[in-house]
Chain A
Amino acid sequence: MTNQQPPVINLKLATPSAFQQRNRRERWLIGLTVALVLAAWVYGYFTSSTDVAPLVSEVLPGATRIESRGQLFVGLDAAGQVAGYAAVGSAPGYGGPIETLVGVDPAGQILGVKIVTQRESPGFFRLVENNNLPGQYTGRAVTDPLELGHDLDAVTGATVSAEGVANSVTAAVRNIAATGLNAPLPAKARPIQFGLPEITLLLLFAAGYFAHKLRNPALKRRVRWGTLLTGMIVLGFIYTAPFTITMVISLLSGYWPDWHNNLYWYLLIGGIIFVTTVDAKNPYCYWFCPFGAFQECLAVVSGAKLYRPRALNSYLTWIQRGLALAAIVLGLVLRRPGVAGYEPFATLFDFRGTTVQWAFLAIIVLASFAVYRPFCNYLCPLDAVVEFIAAGRRWLKEVWLKWRQRPAKV
């Protein structure tokens, strides 16, 4: 035995350990992922422009000739008189900026509104279109309030998208009033929206942060069930505001919503990134993910347990990571974060979806009776995103420590 030991020890010293090899591979993959995401971002950025000029005649019906003056289009009739003005307005929606083209006659009456670009989830935006929100503007004066729920019908189930359209139209109207009609509209107050969803979210973050330090397992379990059920009911069924891959893609695309009325978006994304980076803990999935809580409730009913066979572990991990990367690349290339999301959250919490989306939810619900949190463990893209942030954190920390421990130059 003693004769055989030295070569083994030498071999171990000569070759890097499995841990080192894994670390090296992980860093290569992090670098490759960042490069791929950057390439998708650059491609999407340079190919996403839309020419609005061909659409101007549709919002200025009386114009026979269109002239461009700065950011304003001026429509002239056959006699050379001004038939109206048109401008593009932009405002953040759920998946990114929504751009509308608005036509106004010289007397200040809106002639037409067209949506030029939108990056919303198709299901959400279908509600806006079915409500004929753009059509509601026709015939109104630029001095009207033009507010959802006031002089325009609110869109139930797609509040953020409808607000995006309304704010975008308002931006265009204000531009036309100031530069075309020479009658600037008075500035509107923009109150910060801070209500029950924001308060609940902050409380859930705090509860998760302190509860994971609890030593009493029974108390910890009780607190966790409290946060899970609160997340499922308040953030899920009442507000339909879970963390989604669409939010991540919007963040990467630079499509950041107006913080005055989307403080929740910033608190949720900021909170997850902050806690994952600083504390190396996932504050969301385990503590108050609404869809995770729903699956966990089903597991309690059936007694389902976690199932992750060792032989398939690596494949399952890579499928989940591949889905996350594909969603991010798709969203960035098309500059349409809303299209890339595939989570069944809106289908469950808002009872809204296509046949395929309902079939997807049904399979997951059935599987939840047999396996513990199947969507979270095999398919959720957010798990891979949080894991990526944690891996990046480990790498940066190691680089920082090596830099600090470097020998001082004499």
Chain B
Amino acid sequence: MATAPRESLKRNLLLAFVLACVILIGLIWAEGLSEAGPPTPGYYRDTYHVDESIYVTATAEAIENELRQKSGTPVPTPAENHGSGRGNH
């Protein structure tokens, strides 16, 4: 009678071993993939020189304004939009 629980324990231990190994294999692959990276080698990105005389001009407000001009539909600015939710009451 004692053999059944023992057999069950052995089986569970085996399953735990296989599961742990499968997880570790997944991690080994993930490690390899993260090191492999895209076909373009990493040094190409590292040596990319940023021209500091150029700075970002496209802010969120500028993009919104541009979209408003293109579509012709007036989009309320945050100031104009203030308290608009009350109109539903």
Contacts and interface: CB of A to CB of B under 8 A. Distances in A.
B11 A363 contact: no
Contacts, number: 80
Interface string A298-313: 0000000001010110
B47 A319 contact: no
Interface residues of B, number: 26
A1 B41 CA distance: 77
B21 A312 contact: no
A379 B22 CA distance: 8
B17 A367 contact: yes
Interface stretch (B31-39, B52-60, B63-71, B74-82): B31-39
A334 interface: yes
Contacts of A391: none
A354 B40 contact: no
Contacts of B32: 121-122, 338-340
Given A50-B40, A114-B41, A336-B36, A330 B29 contact: yes
B14 A54 contact: no
B18 A379 contact: yes
Contacts of A117: 39, 41
Interface in B1-59: 7, 10-11, 14-15, 17-18, 20-22, 24-25, 27-29, 31-33, 35-36, 39-41, 43-44, 47
A115 B27 contact: no
B44 A54 contact: yes
Nearest to A362: B24
Given A55-B44, A58-B47, A122-B36, A312 B11 contact: yes
30 contacts: A50-B39, A50-B40, A51-B40, A55-B41, A55-B44, A117-B41, A121-B32, A122-B31, A122-B35, A122-B36, A126-B35, A309-B7, A312-B14, A319-B18, A323-B25, A334-B36, A339-B29, A339-B32, A339-B33, A342-B25, A342-B28, A354-B28, A360-B21, A360-B24, A363-B17, A363-B20, A363-B21, A364-B21, A367-B17, A378-B17
